[in-house]
């Protein structure tokens, strides 16, 4: 395959590294700036630039390179970026793969919906989600991930083409669940970090059980399969997000409680705001999500908020 990877930060640079090593022709695009210059120098903190990758800051050249376009940027920047893409090149027949996790804050829309809003056919849009950290992958540690789309044929085509001994891909069949579950796990990652920072890590077990349950209720209310919350897109991603030293969202939550700076992207912060809105829209109780939101945006005390969540009145578990 000839594949254009748009974005050269943490995940973008890994995707280029991964795909070229598994037989694909890759053009990697990055906007002029720190991340691009680091990769152009030959490596960043995650990967070395494979000499077979065509690295460019020319967006039109990258868009015209192949038939598959993989996007890995900040979720909240997606809408403006898609509009830029459409104005730069003819992409109506291109396949778009979103390797990013989030929900648009202003609208509450899933990222695939943002592309459709902008004129991209849903039949040409897929998402790549699931557990894994670049630092582990580059050390040869395998994991499993999911490709999902409203187009079953596209799911099979991409999953079969991208699979390797390093990443086993599963065929997704619930785009709503895959996107909401993948985005929501970052909120749970922040919650886990806050528990770590407040010396309440023992509550991460209940966090896992109750977090997956509240996300399953939201997925069901939105028309998806509630069981998706217990798959790779969400619960299956908890080890890498709630416990790993490499998790940006967990680290952000811990440092927030300890009042320490954190400069890397933690998508869960914006996602908590979007999920709160979706919970209100669909009438779904999201106590953990709302606690994270209250702490981040209403200056509530982290430990007090989580104590309230886990000491609510006695009720049935499910």
The sheet with strand 143-149 has its strands ordered as 54-56, 25-29, 2-6, 68-71, 95-98, 125-129, 143-149, 167-171
pLDDT, tens digit (0-9, with 9 covering 90-100), for 166-220: 999 999 999 999 999 999 999 999 999 999 999 999 999 999 999 999 999 999 9
Q: How confident is the model at residue 265 (pLDDT cuts 50, 70, 90)?
A: confident
pTM reported for the whole predicted model: 0.95
Task: Say if 176 falls within a structural domain.
Answer: no
Q: How confident is the model at residue 314 (pLDDT cuts 50, 70, 90)?
A: low
pLDDT, tens digit (0-9, with 9 covering 90-100), for 281-312: 999 999 999 999 999 999 999 999 998 998 86
14 in the same domain as 162: yes
* Residues 78/111, Cβ–Cβ less than 8 Å: yes
pLDDT, tens digit (0-9, with 9 covering 90-100), for 214-262: 999 999 999 999 999 999 999 999 999 999 999 999 999 999 999 999 9
Mean pLDDT of the chain: 95
Residue 169's φ and ψ, nearest 5 degrees, are -100, 140
Q: How confident is the model at residue 316 (pLDDT cuts 50, 70, 90)?
A: low
pLDDT, tens digit (0-9, with 9 covering 90-100), for 22-48: 999 999 999 999 999 999 999 999 999
Of 151, 171, 191, which residue is a domain's last?
Answer: 171
Of 171, 193, 216, which residue is a domain's last?
Answer: 171
pLDDT for the residue 315: 61
155 in the same domain as 201: no
Of 143, 171, 199, which residue is a domain's last?
Answer: 171
Instruction: Indicate which CATH number applies to the domain containing 159.
Output: 3.40.50.720
| Residue with the larger pLDDT of the pair 20 and 264 | 20
Task: Say if 177 falls within a structural domain.
Answer: no
From residue 228, alpha-carbon distances to 120, 145, 148, 288 in Å are 25, 13, 12, 19
142 in the same domain as 82: yes
pLDDT for the residue 310: 86
Active site residue 185: yes
- The average pLDDT across 268-287 equals 97
305 in the same domain as 225: yes
SS3 track for 71-103: ECCCHHHHHHHHHHHHHHCCCCCCEEEECCCCE
118 in the same domain as 231: no
The one catalytic residue among 94, 101, 109, 185: 185
15 in the same domain as 162: yes
228 in the same domain as 142: no
Task: Say if 316 falls within a structural domain.
Answer: no
> Half-sphere exposure of residue 35, counting CA atoms within 13 Å on the CB side?
19
39 in the same domain as 126: yes
Instruction: Indicate which CATH number applies to the domain containing 272.
Output: 1.10.1040.10
142 in the same domain as 49: yes
Domain that holds residue 121: 2-171
pLDDT for the residue 317: 54
191 in the same domain as 63: no
Look at the chain and report how many structural domains it folds into.
2
195 in the same domain as 167: no
Task: Say if 131 falls within a structural domain.
Answer: yes
189 in the same domain as 165: no
How far is 248 from 241, CA to CA, in rounded Å? 8
Task: Say if 314 falls within a structural domain.
Answer: no
Q: Say if residue 92's pLDDT is above 70.
A: yes
The total number of residues shown for the chain amounts to 318
pLDDT for the residue 312: 67
């Amino acid at each position: 395959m000839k594949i254009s990877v748009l974005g050269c930060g943490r995940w973008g640079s890994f995707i280029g590294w991964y795909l070229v090593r598994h037989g694909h022709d890759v053009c990697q695009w990055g906007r002029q700036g720190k991340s691009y210059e680091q990769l152009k120098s030959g490596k960043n903190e995650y990967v070395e630039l494979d000499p077979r990758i065509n690295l460019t800051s020319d967006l039109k050249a990258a868009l015209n390179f192949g038939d598959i376009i993989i996007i890995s940027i900040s979720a909240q920047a997606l809408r403006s970026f898609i509009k830029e893409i459409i104005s730069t090149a003819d992409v109506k027949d291109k396949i778009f793969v979103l390797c990013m996790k989030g929900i648009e804050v202003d609208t509450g829309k899933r990222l695939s919906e943002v592309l459709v809003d902008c004129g991209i056919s849903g039949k040409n849009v897929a998402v790549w989600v699931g557990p894994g950290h670049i630092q582990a992958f580059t050390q040869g540690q395998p994991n499993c991930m999911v490709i999902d789309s409203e187009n079953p044929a596209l799911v099979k085509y991409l999953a079969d083409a991208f699979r390797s001994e390093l990443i086993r891909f599963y065929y997704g069949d619930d785009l709503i669940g895959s996107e909401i579950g993948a985005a929501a796990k970052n909120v749970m990652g922040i919650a886990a970090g806050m528990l770590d920072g407040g010396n309440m890590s023992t509550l991460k077990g209940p966090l896992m059980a109750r977090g997956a349950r509240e996300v399953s209720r939201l997925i069901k209310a939105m028309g998806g399969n509630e069981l998706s919350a217990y798959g790779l897109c969400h619960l299956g991603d908890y080890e890498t997000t709630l416990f790993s030293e490499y998790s940006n969202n967990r680290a952000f939550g811990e440092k927030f409680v300890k009042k320490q700076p954190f400069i890397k992207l933690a998508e869960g912060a914006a996602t908590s705001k979007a999920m709160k809105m979706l919970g209100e829209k669909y009438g779904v109780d999201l106590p953990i999500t709302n606690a994270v939101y209250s702490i981040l945006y209403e200056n509530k005390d982290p430990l007090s908020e989580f104590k309230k969540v886990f000491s609510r009145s006695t009720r049935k578990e499910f």
